[in-house]
Structure 1
Amino acid sequence: MRAGLRVGLLGGSFDPPHAGHLHIAREALKRFGLDRVWWLVSPGNPLKRAGPAPLADRMAAARALVDHPAIAVTDVEARLGTRYTAETLAALQAACPGVRFTWLMGADNLVQFHRWERWREIMARVPVGVLARPGLRLAAQTSVAARAFAHARLPAAESRRLGKAAPPAWCFVNVPMVDLSSTEIRARGGWRRPVPRG
Structure 2
Amino acid sequence: MNRDAEDVNEDEYEPQSRRKLNKILRYFPLIPRFQRLFMSSKTADFMTWHHDQRMDDGLLRHPADSLTWKSFDNKFSSFASDPWSVRLGLASDGFNPFKIMSTSYSTWPVVLVPHNLPPWLCMKQSSLILSMIIPGEKGPGNDIDIYLQPLIEELKKLWAGVETYDVLRKDNFYLHAALLWTINDFTAYANLSG
Same structural fold, with TM-score higher than 0.5 when normalized by the shorter chain: no
Larger helix percent: 1
Larger strand percent: 2
Instruction: Give TM-score, length-normalised by structure 1.
Output: 0.23
Greater Rg over alpha carbons, structure: 2
Instruction: Give TM-score, length-normalised by structure 2.
Output: 0.24
